[in-house]
Amino acid sequence: MTKADLVNEISKQTGVEKVAVKKIVEAFMENIKESLKDNQNVYLRGFGSFIVKKRAEKTARNISKNTTIIIPEHFIPAFKPAKTFVAEVKKNVK
C-alpha cells in the first residue's frame, strides 16, 4: 500500500476530502520524523513505537580495496510493533 492508497482508503472510510486527509497524513509523518530527530520516541498504544536505536562503532571491510574501515557510532530510526498488532498479523497472514 502506498501513501496515495492510504489517503484514498482513509478518505473513503471517513468521508473527509482527500486533500485534507493527505495534509493530515503528511503532518503525522513529519511529526514522527521531527520527534525522532530530537531523540524522542513516539508511542502509539495498540499499534507500536517509533524509536531511535543506537548503533555502536564497528570495524568493517571494503572488500574491493581490501582495507579496513571504522564505521562510527550512529543512530537509526526503527519501528517496534505492539504485541496485539503482531498477534493480529500472525493470525490473518496466510
d(C-alpha 94, C-alpha 88), whole Å: 12
Domain ranges of the chain: 1-40
Residues 18-52 have pLDDT tens digits of 999 999 999 999 999 999 999 999 999 999 999 99
pTM of the model: 0.78
pLDDT greater than 70 at residue 94: no
The percentage of residues in the chain with a pLDDT greater than 90, rounded to a whole number, is 90
What is residue 24's predicted lDDT score, i.e. its pLDDT? 96
Task: Classify residue 70 by its DSSP letter.
Answer: E
Average pLDDT, the chain: 94
Which CB contacts under 8 angstroms, 24+ apart, belong to 70-74?
Answer: none
Query: Apex CA 43: angle with CA 48 and CA 38, to 5°?
Result: 125
